Amino acid sequence: MASPGNVLVFDIWRDIRRHLVIYVLLLLVVVSAFSVIYFTHLNRQTTSELELLLTGRDELDIEWRNLLLEQNALAEHSRIETQAKKLLEMDRPGAESEVVIRLP
């Protein structure tokens, strides 16, 4: 005669085999639920990272535009002429000091 423990194990195993499809479906539902949780988490992380990168891009774009404005202001002819006169003490040559060179 089988011991009560063996009978119990046999009954459990028989029950598992009888309802195997249900247990497999339950396992698939649990795996699917955890997959949804995991991919939702990844989506939120990626969205957060995207927002940070877009903010950084906007800041760099603003800085680039300011640098373009500064470059244009510094490259103006009147500013260059003023700086040449003030800092380097340069003047335009007069008509008497101009020399015209003719090429053959």
DSSP conformation class of 92: P
pLDDT tens figures, 58-82: 999 999 999 999 988 887 888 888 8
Give a yes or no: residue 104 inside a domain.
no
pLDDT at residue 73, as a whole number: 84
Whole-structure pTM value: 0.54
In a domain, 52, yes or no: no
Residue 18 lies in a domain: no
Is 75 contained in some domain?
yes
Domain range spanning residue 80? 62-87
Largest CA distance in the chain: 133
Tell me what pLDDT residue 34 has. 98
Total count of domains within the chain = 1
End-to-end Cα spacing for the chain: 127
